[in-house]
Structure 1
Amino acid sequence: MRSFFRSSLAKQTSQVRSARGTWSRSSLLGLVSLMLLLGSSSQLLEDFWASPQAVLVLGGATEREQFAAEFARQHPALPIWVSSGSNPEYAEWLFAEAGIAADRVHLDYRAVDTVTNFTTLVDEFQRQGINSVYVITSDYHMRRAVVIGEIVLGSRGITLEPIAVPSKHANEPLDKVVRDAARSILWITTGRTGANLAHLLRLTPSNTAGIGEEP
């Protein structure tokens, strides 16, 4: 199992490096010129290219935490937040087995769904001066997570870099992405996540087939 996650991690690292390397010289010059024309500060450029300063693991599947433990071994300077993941006893054991110091791991159980995975922790990241995070979740869940994260974290000037955990599941339907994008915007404008409304929508007759799926 550990070799599988190491292989997946190596693949993800390679993809991240490859993505960063696809910028051509002309594209980079064009981006810089555009920012200068818009009057952007040098701080924006620093934030854009900054390496993530923390890891956010979205709960919902133990494979994510197993992957994150291996990822943390490869990034020994980064603190890890696990949002509503496995029970504390298992999570603490898992990271300890991977040799991760307990003071690097922050277990938070306030989130009830993917939107609140982000809304419950974004202010903590801001208080700690974190302006970029790795987001670890399953591949089928990543599209929705990125959309939510871009809205919620972006509202505090925090960027994200997705790290997908391989699975055999099909991607989530687009309507979930649209629903949670709307909820994220609602949170920015009102401070409410609409979690109760989302729960009711999942229980309507037309949505009962989705019961048991990841919220």
Structure 2
Amino acid sequence: MLGGGRDRERFTAEFAQKHPSLPIWISVGSRKAPEIFANAAINPTRIHYDDRATDTVTNFTTIIEPFQDNNLDHVYLITSDFHMRRSRAIATVVFGSRGIIVTPVAVPSKREAEKNTRIARDVVRSLLWVFTKRTGASLNPSLSWLPNKRLDRAIEGLSQD
């Protein structure tokens, strides 16, 4: 599940109830996520939290290694319907580059679908990651609070040589 709100977390908890054998991976959940899953009687050992992502592209690039370490070759991508086209495009590039199949599961919302320009930008960033292991996240001015010298490495969990 891509973080982004309690609606996604509640939906994911219901999805988890219907699929009791699936592990649950949450990329940047809310502080209420553990409570939402506990209220849904989801065993906490099934839930894996990853809070390293700073944007949608890094939602995928930071979690790919744990997926591979756990031999996952198929995932359900849960995110809001307005966000699904962009998320699927990124997943196709990032997860597809590692042989992971993605099945989208959209959470209903009342928001308009994201613009094609955002999708194209993030597909380019995803392709950049496939070839360089960098996403260009350091170019985001809203992340200026992070040390610029090693921003991409910090975000993507790479160690400095």
The answer to whether the superposition gives a TM-score over 0.5 is yes
Bigger helix share: 1
Partner secondary structure for residue 82 of structure 1? strand
Deviations 1:52-105 (A, max 9, x none): xxxxx0011211011000000000000001101102xx2111101101001001
Structure 2 Cα separation of the partners of residues 60 and 141 of structure 1: 10
Number of the residue aligned with 1:79:
23
One-letter amino acid of the counterpart of residue 64, structure 1: R
Residues 127-142 of structure 1 aligned to structure 2 (within 5 Å):
127-142=69-84
Shift of 1:200: 3.5
Unaligned runs of 5+ in 1: 1-56, 202-215
One-letter amino acid of the counterpart of residue 85, structure 1: G
Deviations 1:91-129 (A, max 9, x none): 111101101001001111100010011001111111111
One-letter amino acid of the counterpart of residue 82, structure 1: I
One-letter amino acid of the counterpart of residue 102, structure 2: L
Structure 2 Cα separation of the partners of residues 200 and 175 of structure 1: 18
Residues 75-114 of structure 1 aligned to structure 2 (within 5 Å):
75-87=19-31, 90-114=32-56
Structure 2 Cα separation of the partners of residues 200 and 95 of structure 1: 34
Shift of 1:152: 0.4
Structure 1 residue 181 and structure 2 residue 123: aligned? yes
Please report the RMSD computed on the Cα atoms of aligned residues, expressed in angstroms. 1.4
TM-score normalised per structure 2: 0.86
Of 167, 174, 178, which residue of structure 1 is paired with 2:109? 167
Number of the residue aligned with 2:149:
none
Deviations 1:14-43 (A, max 9, x none): xxxxxxxxxxxxxxxxxxxxxxxxxxxxxx
Deviation beyond 3 Å, 4+ runs, structure 1: none
Unaligned runs of 5+ in 2: 143-161
TM-score normalised per structure 1: 0.65
Structure 1 residue 158 and structure 2 residue 100: aligned? yes
Of 196, 200, 210, which residue of structure 1 is paired with 2:141? 200
Deviations 1:173-203 (A, max 9, x none): 1000000000000001111011122x239xx
One-letter amino acid of the counterpart of residue 37, structure 2: F
Structure 2 Cα separation of the partners of residues 194 and 119 of structure 1: 12
Partner secondary structure for residue 60 of structure 1? coil
For this pair of structures, how many residues does the alignment match? 143
Structure 1 Cα separation of the partners of residues 18 and 120 of structure 2: 34
Q: Which has the larger radius of gyration?
A: 1
Structure 2 Cα separation of the partners of residues 62 and 195 of structure 1: 25
One-letter amino acid of the counterpart of residue 84, structure 1: V
